[in-house]
Structure 1
Amino acid sequence: MANVVITGSSKGIGFGLGKAFLAAGHHVLFSGSRENSTQAARERLQQQLPQHVANARFFPCNTSDHPQVQALWDYALQEFSQVDIWINNAGLARTGWKILDIPESEIHSMVQTNLIGTLNASRVAAAGMLDQGEGKIFNMLGGGSDGEYFPGMGIYGTTKRGLDYFTRALAKELQGTGVLVGRIRPGMVITEAVVREARDNPERFNQSRRLMNNLVDQVDTVVPYLMQRILATSKSGEKIAWLSGGKIALRMLTGLFRKRPDQFLQHGL
Protein backbone atom coordinates (compact mmCIF):
# COMPACT_ATOMS: atom_id res chain seq x y z
CA MET A 1 0.00 0.00 0.00
CA ALA A 2 1.21 3.49 -0.84
CA ASN A 3 1.83 6.39 1.52
CA VAL A 4 0.36 9.50 -0.11
CA VAL A 5 0.65 13.22 0.71
CA ILE A 6 -1.75 15.64 -0.98
CA THR A 7 -1.45 19.40 -0.55
CA GLY A 8 -4.62 21.46 -0.81
CA SER A 9 -6.68 18.42 0.14
CA SER A 10 -9.12 19.90 2.63
CA LYS A 11 -11.73 20.10 -0.16
CA GLY A 12 -12.27 19.82 -3.91
CA ILE A 13 -10.24 17.47 -6.08
CA GLY A 14 -7.57 17.08 -3.43
CA PHE A 15 -10.07 15.83 -0.85
CA GLY A 16 -11.71 13.59 -3.43
CA LEU A 17 -8.36 12.08 -4.40
CA GLY A 18 -7.51 11.48 -0.77
CA LYS A 19 -10.81 9.67 -0.26
CA ALA A 20 -10.20 7.51 -3.33
CA PHE A 21 -6.75 6.48 -2.10
CA LEU A 22 -8.08 5.75 1.38
CA ALA A 23 -10.98 3.66 0.07
CA ALA A 24 -8.46 1.62 -1.93
CA GLY A 25 -6.50 0.84 1.25
CA HIS A 26 -3.69 3.39 1.06
CA HIS A 27 -2.42 5.79 3.75
CA VAL A 28 -3.11 9.48 3.10
CA LEU A 29 -1.92 12.72 4.68
CA PHE A 30 -4.51 15.47 4.10
CA SER A 31 -3.36 19.07 4.24
CA GLY A 32 -5.25 22.36 4.05
CA SER A 33 -3.68 25.79 4.13
CA ARG A 34 -5.07 26.51 7.61
CA GLU A 35 -5.78 24.57 10.78
CA ASN A 36 -9.56 25.09 10.56
CA SER A 37 -9.84 23.87 6.97
CA THR A 38 -7.72 20.82 7.75
CA GLN A 39 -9.85 20.04 10.80
CA ALA A 40 -13.01 20.41 8.68
CA ALA A 41 -11.60 17.82 6.27
CA ARG A 42 -11.03 15.43 9.20
CA GLU A 43 -14.64 15.84 10.33
CA ARG A 44 -16.05 15.24 6.83
CA LEU A 45 -13.87 12.18 6.42
CA GLN A 46 -15.05 10.74 9.73
CA GLN A 47 -18.61 11.06 8.45
CA GLN A 48 -18.02 9.78 4.92
CA LEU A 49 -15.37 7.07 5.38
CA PRO A 50 -15.36 6.16 9.08
CA GLN A 51 -13.98 2.68 8.35
CA HIS A 52 -10.84 4.12 6.71
CA VAL A 53 -10.11 7.20 8.83
CA ALA A 54 -7.49 5.32 10.87
CA ASN A 55 -5.26 5.37 7.77
CA ALA A 56 -5.59 9.15 7.41
CA ARG A 57 -3.41 11.88 8.88
CA PHE A 58 -3.99 15.63 8.92
CA PHE A 59 -1.50 18.50 8.98
CA PRO A 60 -2.05 22.16 7.98
CA CYS A 61 0.41 23.70 5.54
CA ASN A 62 0.55 26.96 3.59
CA THR A 63 2.75 25.83 0.71
CA SER A 64 3.90 29.38 -0.08
CA ASP A 65 5.89 29.23 3.18
CA HIS A 66 8.89 26.91 2.71
CA PRO A 67 9.36 26.00 6.41
CA GLN A 68 5.73 24.87 6.59
CA VAL A 69 6.25 22.58 3.61
CA GLN A 70 9.35 21.09 5.24
CA ALA A 71 7.32 20.53 8.40
CA LEU A 72 4.68 18.73 6.33
CA TRP A 73 7.32 16.41 4.85
CA ASP A 74 8.84 15.76 8.27
CA TYR A 75 5.44 14.90 9.74
CA ALA A 76 4.68 12.54 6.84
CA LEU A 77 7.99 10.78 7.37
CA GLN A 78 7.34 10.53 11.09
CA GLU A 79 3.91 8.96 10.52
CA PHE A 80 4.55 6.81 7.45
CA SER A 81 8.36 6.20 7.51
CA GLN A 82 8.37 6.78 3.74
CA VAL A 83 6.45 8.95 1.27
CA ASP A 84 5.65 7.08 -1.94
CA ILE A 85 3.46 9.66 -3.69
CA TRP A 86 3.38 13.44 -3.22
CA ILE A 87 0.63 15.34 -5.07
CA ASN A 88 0.86 19.13 -5.33
CA ASN A 89 -2.80 20.01 -5.60
CA ALA A 90 -2.85 23.28 -3.66
CA GLY A 91 -3.96 25.97 -6.08
CA LEU A 92 -6.00 29.12 -6.40
CA ALA A 93 -8.24 30.25 -9.27
CA ARG A 94 -9.45 33.84 -9.39
CA THR A 95 -11.01 34.29 -12.82
CA GLY A 96 -13.45 36.61 -14.52
CA TRP A 97 -11.17 39.63 -14.90
CA LYS A 98 -9.27 40.83 -17.93
CA ILE A 99 -5.53 41.10 -17.37
CA LEU A 100 -5.66 44.91 -17.02
CA ASP A 101 -8.60 44.78 -14.62
CA ILE A 102 -7.65 42.07 -12.14
CA PRO A 103 -6.75 43.41 -8.67
CA GLU A 104 -3.07 43.23 -7.83
CA SER A 105 -3.85 41.30 -4.65
CA GLU A 106 -5.45 38.51 -6.71
CA ILE A 107 -2.39 38.32 -8.98
CA HIS A 108 -0.13 38.03 -5.95
CA SER A 109 -2.30 35.31 -4.37
CA MET A 110 -2.34 33.13 -7.49
CA VAL A 111 1.38 33.48 -8.15
CA GLN A 112 2.21 32.69 -4.52
CA THR A 113 -0.06 29.64 -4.37
CA ASN A 114 0.12 28.18 -7.86
CA LEU A 115 3.78 28.84 -8.60
CA ILE A 116 5.77 29.56 -5.42
CA GLY A 117 3.79 27.04 -3.40
CA THR A 118 4.23 24.25 -5.92
CA LEU A 119 7.93 25.07 -6.40
CA ASN A 120 8.45 24.91 -2.64
CA ALA A 121 6.60 21.63 -2.25
CA SER A 122 8.22 20.01 -5.29
CA ARG A 123 11.70 20.91 -4.06
CA VAL A 124 11.04 19.62 -0.54
CA ALA A 125 9.47 16.39 -1.79
CA ALA A 126 12.21 15.83 -4.39
CA ALA A 127 14.99 16.29 -1.82
CA GLY A 128 13.29 13.93 0.58
CA MET A 129 12.64 11.30 -2.07
CA LEU A 130 16.23 11.46 -3.27
CA ASP A 131 17.28 10.66 0.28
CA GLN A 132 14.96 7.67 0.46
CA GLY A 133 15.87 6.59 -3.08
CA GLU A 134 12.44 6.64 -4.76
CA GLY A 135 9.05 8.27 -4.99
CA LYS A 136 6.57 10.00 -7.27
CA ILE A 137 5.73 13.71 -7.45
CA PHE A 138 2.69 14.95 -9.35
CA ASN A 139 1.79 18.57 -10.05
CA MET A 140 -1.80 19.55 -10.73
CA LEU A 141 -2.11 21.66 -13.88
CA GLY A 142 -5.19 23.43 -15.20
CA GLY A 143 -6.62 25.67 -17.88
CA GLY A 144 -3.87 27.42 -19.83
CA SER A 145 -1.13 24.90 -19.05
CA ASP A 146 -1.06 23.75 -22.67
CA GLY A 147 -0.97 27.34 -23.94
CA GLU A 148 -4.68 27.65 -24.72
CA TYR A 149 -6.52 30.88 -23.90
CA PHE A 150 -9.71 31.15 -21.87
CA PRO A 151 -11.44 34.52 -21.33
CA GLY A 152 -10.94 35.86 -17.84
CA MET A 153 -8.17 33.38 -17.06
CA GLY A 154 -5.12 35.29 -18.32
CA ILE A 155 -3.26 35.37 -15.01
CA TYR A 156 -4.41 31.97 -13.77
CA GLY A 157 -3.49 30.38 -17.09
CA THR A 158 -0.08 32.05 -16.98
CA THR A 159 0.68 30.44 -13.61
CA LYS A 160 -0.38 27.03 -14.88
CA ARG A 161 1.62 27.42 -18.09
CA GLY A 162 4.69 28.25 -16.01
CA LEU A 163 3.96 25.29 -13.77
CA ASP A 164 3.90 22.97 -16.78
CA TYR A 165 7.39 24.15 -17.79
CA PHE A 166 8.67 23.79 -14.25
CA THR A 167 7.33 20.24 -13.96
CA ARG A 168 8.91 19.21 -17.26
CA ALA A 169 12.22 20.72 -16.17
CA LEU A 170 12.12 18.94 -12.81
CA ALA A 171 11.41 15.63 -14.55
CA LYS A 172 14.48 16.15 -16.73
CA GLU A 173 16.72 17.03 -13.80
CA LEU A 174 15.60 14.00 -11.78
CA GLN A 175 15.83 11.56 -14.70
CA GLY A 176 17.39 8.28 -13.61
CA THR A 177 17.29 9.02 -9.88
CA GLY A 178 14.33 6.85 -8.97
CA VAL A 179 12.16 9.92 -8.37
CA LEU A 180 9.40 10.20 -10.99
CA VAL A 181 7.71 13.50 -11.81
CA GLY A 182 4.32 13.71 -13.53
CA ARG A 183 1.63 16.19 -14.51
CA ILE A 184 -2.12 15.93 -13.94
CA ARG A 185 -4.80 17.70 -15.98
CA PRO A 186 -8.08 16.85 -14.26
CA GLY A 187 -10.32 18.60 -16.79
CA MET A 188 -13.25 20.82 -15.84
CA VAL A 189 -14.38 19.59 -12.44
CA ILE A 190 -17.11 21.19 -10.32
CA THR A 191 -15.48 22.12 -7.04
CA GLU A 192 -16.31 24.55 -4.26
CA ALA A 193 -14.26 27.18 -6.10
CA VAL A 194 -16.32 26.77 -9.29
CA VAL A 195 -19.56 27.08 -7.33
CA ARG A 196 -18.28 30.18 -5.53
CA GLU A 197 -17.33 31.92 -8.77
CA ALA A 198 -20.68 31.01 -10.36
CA ARG A 199 -22.51 32.61 -7.47
CA ASP A 200 -20.26 35.66 -7.47
CA ASN A 201 -20.96 36.29 -11.16
CA PRO A 202 -24.27 34.60 -12.07
CA GLU A 203 -24.65 36.54 -15.32
CA ARG A 204 -21.38 35.28 -16.73
CA PHE A 205 -22.07 31.76 -15.43
CA ASN A 206 -25.48 31.61 -17.10
CA GLN A 207 -23.97 32.72 -20.42
CA SER A 208 -21.58 29.78 -20.43
CA ARG A 209 -23.64 27.22 -18.51
CA ARG A 210 -24.88 25.24 -21.51
CA LEU A 211 -21.43 24.92 -23.08
CA MET A 212 -19.77 24.11 -19.76
CA ASN A 213 -22.38 21.47 -18.97
CA ASN A 214 -21.09 19.36 -21.85
CA LEU A 215 -17.55 19.39 -20.47
CA VAL A 216 -17.70 19.47 -16.67
CA ASP A 217 -17.60 16.44 -14.39
CA GLN A 218 -18.14 15.72 -10.72
CA VAL A 219 -15.15 15.19 -8.44
CA ASP A 220 -16.19 11.62 -7.63
CA THR A 221 -16.37 10.80 -11.35
CA VAL A 222 -12.83 11.91 -12.09
CA VAL A 223 -10.74 10.94 -9.07
CA PRO A 224 -10.87 7.10 -9.44
CA TYR A 225 -9.34 7.43 -12.91
CA LEU A 226 -6.67 9.85 -11.69
CA MET A 227 -5.80 7.59 -8.76
CA GLN A 228 -5.36 4.52 -10.94
CA ARG A 229 -3.17 6.40 -13.40
CA ILE A 230 -1.05 7.86 -10.59
CA LEU A 231 -0.45 4.41 -9.13
CA ALA A 232 0.33 2.96 -12.57
CA THR A 233 2.77 5.70 -13.66
CA SER A 234 6.22 4.20 -14.17
CA LYS A 235 7.82 6.78 -16.44
CA SER A 236 8.86 10.30 -15.48
CA GLY A 237 7.40 13.21 -17.42
CA GLU A 238 4.04 11.60 -18.16
CA LYS A 239 0.84 13.63 -18.24
CA ILE A 240 -2.40 12.23 -16.89
CA ALA A 241 -5.32 13.91 -18.64
CA TRP A 242 -8.95 13.11 -17.89
CA LEU A 243 -10.52 15.37 -20.52
CA SER A 244 -8.61 14.55 -23.70
CA GLY A 245 -9.11 16.30 -27.02
CA GLY A 246 -11.00 13.31 -28.35
CA LYS A 247 -13.31 13.24 -25.35
CA ILE A 248 -14.03 16.96 -25.72
CA ALA A 249 -14.91 16.54 -29.41
CA LEU A 250 -17.17 13.57 -28.68
CA ARG A 251 -19.01 15.38 -25.93
CA MET A 252 -19.55 18.48 -28.04
CA LEU A 253 -20.85 16.37 -30.93
CA THR A 254 -23.11 14.33 -28.67
CA GLY A 255 -24.43 17.54 -27.16
CA LEU A 256 -25.84 18.55 -30.54
CA PHE A 257 -28.23 15.60 -30.47
CA ARG A 258 -28.76 14.75 -26.81
CA LYS A 259 -28.93 17.13 -23.88
CA ARG A 260 -26.73 16.08 -21.01
CA PRO A 261 -28.30 16.14 -17.53
CA ASP A 262 -27.51 19.42 -15.81
CA GLN A 263 -24.34 18.80 -13.81
CA PHE A 264 -24.73 21.99 -11.75
CA LEU A 265 -28.15 21.35 -10.19
CA GLN A 266 -26.84 19.18 -7.36
CA HIS A 267 -24.64 22.11 -6.30
CA GLY A 268 -27.58 24.47 -5.95
CA LEU A 269 -26.87 26.39 -9.16
Structure 2
Amino acid sequence: MTTLVITGSTKGIGKGLAAEFARLGHRVVISGRSQQDVDATLVELGYPASQVVGLACDSVDKRQVEALWEFACEHFGTVDIWINNAGLARTVWPILDTPDAEIQQMVHTNIIGTMNGCRVAASGMKRAASQGLVLQPQKIFNMLGGGSDGEYFPGMGIYGTTKRALDYFTNALSKELKGDAILVGKVRPGMIITEGVIREAKVDKDNFERRRRFANVLCDHVETVTPYLAQQILAETKTGRKIRWLTPMKMTLRMLSGYVRSTPDKFTRYGL
Protein backbone atom coordinates (compact mmCIF):
# COMPACT_ATOMS: atom_id res chain seq x y z
CA MET A 1 0.00 0.00 0.00
CA THR A 2 1.38 3.38 -1.06
CA THR A 3 0.89 6.68 0.81
CA LEU A 4 0.38 9.73 -1.38
CA VAL A 5 0.00 13.45 -0.72
CA ILE A 6 -1.74 15.45 -3.45
CA THR A 7 -1.83 19.24 -3.20
CA GLY A 8 -4.78 21.07 -4.71
CA SER A 9 -6.93 17.95 -4.56
CA THR A 10 -10.36 19.28 -3.60
CA LYS A 11 -11.31 19.71 -7.25
CA GLY A 12 -10.24 19.04 -10.81
CA ILE A 13 -7.48 16.63 -11.74
CA GLY A 14 -6.14 16.52 -8.19
CA LYS A 15 -9.47 15.36 -6.82
CA GLY A 16 -9.76 12.84 -9.64
CA LEU A 17 -6.32 11.42 -8.83
CA ALA A 18 -7.18 11.20 -5.14
CA ALA A 19 -10.34 9.25 -5.96
CA GLU A 20 -8.47 6.90 -8.29
CA PHE A 21 -5.61 6.17 -5.89
CA ALA A 22 -8.11 5.52 -3.09
CA ARG A 23 -10.11 3.22 -5.37
CA LEU A 24 -6.93 1.25 -5.98
CA GLY A 25 -6.56 0.77 -2.22
CA HIS A 26 -3.81 3.28 -1.47
CA ARG A 27 -3.70 5.82 1.35
CA VAL A 28 -4.23 9.42 0.31
CA VAL A 29 -3.80 12.82 1.93
CA ILE A 30 -5.74 15.55 0.15
CA SER A 31 -5.36 19.29 0.57
CA GLY A 32 -6.81 22.59 -0.56
CA ARG A 33 -6.75 26.16 0.64
CA SER A 34 -10.00 25.84 2.58
CA GLN A 35 -10.60 23.28 5.33
CA GLN A 36 -14.29 23.51 4.47
CA ASP A 37 -13.51 22.37 0.92
CA VAL A 38 -11.22 19.63 2.24
CA ASP A 39 -13.93 18.33 4.57
CA ALA A 40 -16.55 18.40 1.83
CA THR A 41 -14.25 16.46 -0.49
CA LEU A 42 -13.56 13.85 2.18
CA VAL A 43 -17.29 13.31 2.56
CA GLU A 44 -17.73 13.07 -1.19
CA LEU A 45 -14.89 10.58 -1.58
CA GLY A 46 -16.44 8.49 1.17
CA TYR A 47 -13.40 6.62 2.49
CA PRO A 48 -12.58 6.03 6.17
CA ALA A 49 -9.89 8.08 7.90
CA SER A 50 -7.69 4.98 7.91
CA GLN A 51 -7.34 5.47 4.15
CA VAL A 52 -8.08 9.10 3.18
CA VAL A 53 -7.50 12.22 5.29
CA GLY A 54 -7.09 15.91 4.47
CA LEU A 55 -5.74 19.21 5.70
CA ALA A 56 -6.05 22.79 4.47
CA CYS A 57 -2.79 24.00 2.94
CA ASP A 58 -1.82 27.06 0.94
CA SER A 59 1.28 25.81 -0.86
CA VAL A 60 2.64 29.36 -1.19
CA ASP A 61 3.23 29.31 2.58
CA LYS A 62 6.09 26.90 3.22
CA ARG A 63 5.10 26.49 6.86
CA GLN A 64 1.71 25.20 5.81
CA VAL A 65 3.37 22.75 3.42
CA GLU A 66 5.60 21.53 6.24
CA ALA A 67 2.47 21.10 8.38
CA LEU A 68 0.91 19.02 5.59
CA TRP A 69 3.96 16.73 5.52
CA GLU A 70 3.83 16.28 9.31
CA PHE A 71 0.07 15.67 9.14
CA ALA A 72 0.60 12.90 6.58
CA CYS A 73 3.35 11.29 8.64
CA GLU A 74 1.27 11.44 11.83
CA HIS A 75 -1.55 9.56 10.12
CA PHE A 76 0.31 7.12 7.89
CA GLY A 77 3.91 7.01 9.13
CA THR A 78 5.62 8.29 5.99
CA VAL A 79 4.98 9.60 2.48
CA ASP A 80 5.91 7.55 -0.56
CA ILE A 81 4.65 9.81 -3.35
CA TRP A 82 4.13 13.58 -3.24
CA ILE A 83 2.22 15.17 -6.13
CA ASN A 84 2.42 18.95 -6.56
CA ASN A 85 -0.89 19.54 -8.31
CA ALA A 86 -1.99 22.87 -6.81
CA GLY A 87 -2.04 25.48 -9.55
CA LEU A 88 -3.90 28.44 -10.96
CA ALA A 89 -4.78 29.22 -14.58
CA ARG A 90 -6.11 32.52 -15.89
CA THR A 91 -6.24 32.34 -19.67
CA VAL A 92 -8.66 35.01 -20.88
CA TRP A 93 -6.20 37.92 -21.24
CA PRO A 94 -3.15 38.66 -23.39
CA ILE A 95 -0.01 39.37 -21.41
CA LEU A 96 -0.34 43.17 -21.35
CA ASP A 97 -3.97 43.02 -20.22
CA THR A 98 -3.51 40.46 -17.46
CA PRO A 99 -4.27 42.15 -14.09
CA ASP A 100 -1.25 42.51 -11.81
CA ALA A 101 -2.97 40.57 -9.04
CA GLU A 102 -3.62 37.62 -11.36
CA ILE A 103 0.02 37.53 -12.44
CA GLN A 104 1.14 37.53 -8.81
CA GLN A 105 -1.23 34.69 -7.94
CA MET A 106 -0.24 32.51 -10.89
CA VAL A 107 3.49 32.99 -10.36
CA HIS A 108 3.29 32.44 -6.61
CA THR A 109 0.93 29.45 -6.75
CA ASN A 110 2.37 27.65 -9.76
CA ILE A 111 6.07 28.27 -9.19
CA ILE A 112 6.67 29.12 -5.52
CA GLY A 113 4.00 26.69 -4.35
CA THR A 114 5.49 23.84 -6.35
CA MET A 115 9.01 24.69 -5.20
CA ASN A 116 7.82 24.64 -1.59
CA GLY A 117 6.18 21.27 -2.10
CA CYS A 118 9.31 19.81 -3.69
CA ARG A 119 11.68 21.14 -1.05
CA VAL A 120 9.53 20.00 1.86
CA ALA A 121 8.83 16.58 0.38
CA ALA A 122 12.44 15.94 -0.64
CA SER A 123 13.76 16.97 2.76
CA GLY A 124 11.20 14.76 4.48
CA MET A 125 12.00 11.82 2.24
CA LYS A 126 15.73 12.15 2.90
CA ARG A 127 15.05 12.17 6.66
CA ALA A 128 12.86 9.10 6.34
CA ALA A 129 15.59 7.29 4.40
CA SER A 130 18.23 8.15 7.00
CA GLN A 131 15.93 6.74 9.71
CA GLY A 132 15.30 3.51 7.82
CA LEU A 133 11.60 4.25 7.32
CA VAL A 134 11.56 3.84 3.54
CA LEU A 135 9.89 0.63 2.37
CA GLN A 136 9.30 1.51 -1.29
CA PRO A 137 10.58 3.99 -3.92
CA GLN A 138 10.13 7.66 -3.03
CA LYS A 139 8.68 9.87 -5.75
CA ILE A 140 7.84 13.54 -6.34
CA PHE A 141 5.73 14.57 -9.33
CA ASN A 142 5.06 18.09 -10.61
CA MET A 143 1.97 18.86 -12.67
CA LEU A 144 2.80 20.66 -15.91
CA GLY A 145 0.42 22.14 -18.46
CA GLY A 146 0.06 24.20 -21.59
CA GLY A 147 3.29 26.01 -22.44
CA SER A 148 5.58 23.69 -20.50
CA ASP A 149 7.14 22.41 -23.73
CA GLY A 150 7.58 25.95 -25.06
CA GLU A 151 4.47 26.02 -27.25
CA TYR A 152 2.31 29.15 -27.40
CA PHE A 153 -1.43 29.36 -26.84
CA PRO A 154 -3.39 32.65 -27.05
CA GLY A 155 -4.28 33.99 -23.61
CA MET A 156 -1.83 31.68 -21.86
CA GLY A 157 1.30 33.84 -21.93
CA ILE A 158 1.62 34.17 -18.17
CA TYR A 159 0.29 30.72 -17.26
CA GLY A 160 2.44 29.03 -19.90
CA THR A 161 5.51 30.85 -18.63
CA THR A 162 4.98 29.45 -15.13
CA LYS A 163 4.64 25.91 -16.49
CA ARG A 164 7.70 26.32 -18.70
CA ALA A 165 9.63 27.37 -15.60
CA LEU A 166 8.41 24.27 -13.77
CA ASP A 167 9.69 22.06 -16.56
CA TYR A 168 13.21 23.45 -16.08
CA PHE A 169 12.92 23.32 -12.31
CA THR A 170 11.81 19.68 -12.36
CA ASN A 171 14.67 18.72 -14.68
CA ALA A 172 17.15 20.40 -12.34
CA LEU A 173 15.67 18.82 -9.22
CA SER A 174 15.70 15.35 -10.75
CA LYS A 175 19.45 15.67 -11.31
CA GLU A 176 20.14 17.05 -7.84
CA LEU A 177 18.19 14.27 -6.10
CA LYS A 178 19.35 11.38 -8.26
CA GLY A 179 21.99 10.39 -5.72
CA ASP A 180 19.35 10.32 -2.98
CA ALA A 181 17.22 7.71 -4.77
CA ILE A 182 14.28 10.12 -4.95
CA LEU A 183 12.51 9.93 -8.29
CA VAL A 184 11.36 13.30 -9.63
CA GLY A 185 8.88 13.24 -12.49
CA LYS A 186 6.52 15.37 -14.53
CA VAL A 187 2.86 14.88 -15.34
CA ARG A 188 1.25 16.52 -18.32
CA PRO A 189 -2.42 15.55 -18.13
CA GLY A 190 -3.55 17.05 -21.42
CA MET A 191 -6.57 19.26 -21.93
CA ILE A 192 -8.84 18.36 -19.03
CA ILE A 193 -12.29 19.84 -18.47
CA THR A 194 -12.02 21.13 -14.91
CA GLU A 195 -13.85 23.73 -12.87
CA GLY A 196 -11.24 26.25 -13.95
CA VAL A 197 -11.77 25.53 -17.64
CA ILE A 198 -15.53 25.91 -17.24
CA ARG A 199 -15.06 29.17 -15.35
CA GLU A 200 -12.80 30.60 -18.05
CA ALA A 201 -15.20 29.49 -20.79
CA LYS A 202 -18.11 31.25 -19.12
CA VAL A 203 -16.07 34.43 -18.63
CA ASP A 204 -15.22 34.61 -22.34
CA LYS A 205 -18.12 32.73 -23.94
CA ASP A 206 -17.56 34.12 -27.45
CA ASN A 207 -13.98 32.90 -27.54
CA PHE A 208 -15.04 29.53 -26.20
CA GLU A 209 -17.67 29.12 -28.90
CA ARG A 210 -15.03 29.81 -31.56
CA ARG A 211 -12.88 27.05 -30.11
CA ARG A 212 -15.66 24.68 -29.13
CA ARG A 213 -15.22 22.17 -31.96
CA PHE A 214 -11.46 22.06 -31.44
CA ALA A 215 -11.93 21.66 -27.68
CA ASN A 216 -14.36 18.78 -28.14
CA VAL A 217 -11.76 16.93 -30.19
CA LEU A 218 -8.87 17.35 -27.75
CA CYS A 219 -10.41 17.80 -24.29
CA ASP A 220 -11.19 14.96 -21.89
CA HIS A 221 -13.16 14.56 -18.69
CA VAL A 222 -11.23 14.08 -15.46
CA GLU A 223 -12.47 10.51 -15.01
CA THR A 224 -11.21 9.58 -18.48
CA VAL A 225 -7.62 10.52 -17.75
CA THR A 226 -6.98 9.82 -14.06
CA PRO A 227 -6.88 5.98 -14.25
CA TYR A 228 -4.05 6.17 -16.78
CA LEU A 229 -2.13 8.86 -14.87
CA ALA A 230 -2.44 7.03 -11.56
CA GLN A 231 -1.22 3.80 -13.09
CA GLN A 232 1.78 5.52 -14.67
CA ILE A 233 2.69 7.41 -11.49
CA LEU A 234 2.71 4.18 -9.50
CA ALA A 235 4.69 2.30 -12.16
CA GLU A 236 7.32 4.94 -13.01
CA THR A 237 10.84 3.82 -12.15
CA LYS A 238 13.09 6.37 -13.87
CA THR A 239 13.69 9.92 -12.69
CA GLY A 240 13.28 12.96 -14.92
CA ARG A 241 10.66 11.47 -17.21
CA LYS A 242 7.32 12.93 -18.26
CA ILE A 243 4.02 11.09 -18.00
CA ARG A 244 1.87 12.40 -20.82
CA TRP A 245 -1.74 11.58 -21.64
CA LEU A 246 -2.27 13.64 -24.78
CA THR A 247 0.79 12.77 -26.86
CA PRO A 248 1.51 14.48 -30.20
CA MET A 249 0.51 11.27 -32.00
CA LYS A 250 -2.78 11.07 -30.11
CA MET A 251 -3.50 14.72 -30.87
CA THR A 252 -2.84 14.18 -34.58
CA LEU A 253 -5.09 11.12 -34.75
CA ARG A 254 -7.87 12.93 -32.94
CA MET A 255 -7.64 15.92 -35.24
CA LEU A 256 -7.75 13.70 -38.34
CA SER A 257 -10.68 11.77 -36.92
CA GLY A 258 -12.47 15.02 -36.15
CA TYR A 259 -12.48 15.92 -39.83
CA VAL A 260 -14.29 12.76 -40.90
CA ARG A 261 -16.78 12.23 -38.11
CA SER A 262 -18.68 14.36 -35.64
CA THR A 263 -17.49 14.47 -32.04
CA PRO A 264 -19.99 14.29 -29.16
CA ASP A 265 -20.19 17.59 -27.29
CA LYS A 266 -18.38 17.15 -24.00
CA PHE A 267 -19.38 20.52 -22.56
CA THR A 268 -23.16 20.26 -22.40
CA ARG A 269 -23.04 18.51 -19.03
CA TYR A 270 -21.45 21.68 -17.61
CA GLY A 271 -24.16 24.03 -18.88
CA LEU A 272 -22.18 25.33 -21.83
TM-score, normalising length: structure 2:
0.96
Corresponding position of 1:67: 63
The answer to whether the aligner puts 1:115 opposite 2:118 as a matched pair is: no
Paired-residue identity, %: 56
Distance 2:183 2:76 in 1: 19
Corresponding position of 1:17: 17
Distance 1:260 1:208 in 2: 14
Corresponding position of 1:184: 187
Distance 1:140 1:149 in 2: 18
Secondary structure in 1 aligned to 2:96?
coil
The answer to whether the aligner puts 1:128 opposite 2:124 as a matched pair is: yes
CA shift, 1:201, in A, is 1.2
Distance 2:222 2:235 in 1: 20
Corresponding position of 1:259: 262
State the one-letter code of the partner of 2:38.
T
Distance 2:199 2:94 in 1: 19
The answer to whether the aligner puts 1:96 opposite 2:99 as a matched pair is: no
CA shift, 1:176, in A, is 2.5
Secondary structure in 1 aligned to 2:183?
strand
- Partners of 1:145 and 1:163 within 8 A in 2: yes
Deviates more, 1:27-36 or 1:53-62: 53-62
Corresponding position of 2:4: 4
The answer to whether the aligner puts 1:168 opposite 2:171 as a matched pair is: yes
- Partners of 1:45 and 1:53 within 8 A in 2: no
Q: Tell me which stretches of 4 or more aligned residues in structure 1 moved more than 3 Å.
A: none
Matches within 5 A, 1:178-217: 178-217=181-220
CA shift, 1:70, in A, is 0.2
- Alpha carbon RMSD of aligned pairs, Å? 1.0
Deviates more, 1:166-175 or 1:258-267: 258-267
CA shift, 1:259, in A, is 1.0
The answer to whether the aligner puts 1:138 opposite 2:141 as a matched pair is: yes
State the one-letter code of the partner of 1:5.
V
CA shift, 1:77, in A, is 0.7
CA shift, 1:131, in A, is 1.3
Corresponding position of 2:237: 234
Per-residue deviation, residues 218-268 of structure 1 (Å, max 9, x unmatched): 000000000000000111001000000000000000000011111111112
Q: How many residues align?
A: 265
TM-score, normalising length: structure 1:
0.97
- Partners of 1:182 and 1:236 within 8 A in 2: yes
CA shift, 1:121, in A, is 0.6
- Partners of 1:69 and 1:121 within 8 A in 2: yes
Per-residue deviation, residues 120-178 of structure 1 (Å, max 9, x unmatched): 01000000111122510000000000000000000000000001100000000001211
- Partners of 1:38 and 1:60 within 8 A in 2: yes
Unaligned runs of 5+ in 2: 130-136
State the one-letter code of the partner of 2:10.
S
